[in-house]
Amino acid sequence: MHGWDSWIAVGDSFTEGVGDKRDDTAPGGAEEYVGWADRLAEVMADQRPGFQYANLALRGKLLREIIDEQVPIAVAERPDLVTLCGGGNDIITPGTDVDDVGALFDTAVAALRAAGSEVLIFTGPDPKVQPLLRRVRGKVAIYNGHLRAIAERHGAKVVDLWSMGVLHDRRSWCDDRLHFSTEGHRRIALRAAEVLGVPVVEDWREPLPMEQRRPWLQLRQDDITWTTTHLIPWVRRQIRGESLGDGLAPKRPELRPFRADTRV
């Protein structure tokens, strides 16, 4: 058993769980996601009666929005644990200064630690396998350096996504090549559990099965499909200043016991 009684997860699409679609999403309804945080919360609830959990994360959020809208709630509630991941949407935005994003992240961790919560943060993953994200690989590496320094300065825990070899496999990413797949989220939940000292029976290091080599033509067709389905709409949103999270609300906005009817 672990020693956590309450946890608030704050962040963007990564923590909301985008890419890990619920199996019971109603046909024709809005897509609902599980994600690494909900998966880990279920494990923690099984081991700790009365365990409370909230997930305030919302897709498309910039770090400043996370700090203004979500962090104050976590500071006021003072849960045992707060997980914080943000800045990725800032980094992929052209013209963003990574040092400024790092300084902003530092203020959030400082506020959460001052409130008495344990804080768990995540480095950015190595985006080398993805054609869109690999363009900002250097910025992600610099940001990760800031995150590790922030964690050391404030006594926060770190989940190092960059070093997770299973995330270097394309199958750990979903079709939009921006978010993690169900398998990616599952592995990240296991890695976070390890860092937090939450007992689990599976190992995130377990290699993925050997992948069958795909024909060159099929790969190029996949690239075309991705360009029209995901890349062009993303560029349009960037130009218009729109976000995938516009008009949406957090899926678990209040700190409550993780009940059976809210399980993954």
Closest CA to 66 of 87, 80, 97: 87
Cβ atoms of 109 and 154 within 8 Å: the answer is yes
Position 71 scores a pLDDT of 98
Position 262 scores a pLDDT of 56
Cβ atoms of 246 and 63 within 8 Å: the answer is no
Position 260 scores a pLDDT of 46
CATH 3.40.630.10 fits 6-205+215-258, yes or no: no
Position 166 scores a pLDDT of 95
What are the structural domain ranges in the chain? 6-205+215-258
Question: Looking at the whole model, is its pTM more than 0.85?
Answer: yes
Cα 17 to Cα 21, 39, 94, 223, 261, distances in angstroms: 8, 10, 25, 24, 18
Round to whole Å and give the CA distance between 13 and 19.
Answer: 9
Position 30 scores a pLDDT of 56
Q: What is the pLDDT along the chain (264 residues), one digit of tens a residue?
A: 789 999 999 999 999 999 999 876 555 555 789 999 999 999 999 999 999 999 999 999 999 999 999 999 999 999 999 999 999 999 988 899 999 999 999 999 999 999 999 999 999 999 998 877 788 999 999 999 999 999 999 999 999 999 999 999 999 999 888 899 999 999 999 999 999 999 999 999 999 888 777 776 776 777 777 678 776 777 777 777 777 778 889 999 999 999 744 555
Round to whole Å and give the CA distance between 75 and 201.
Answer: 32
Tokens of 53: 């959990």
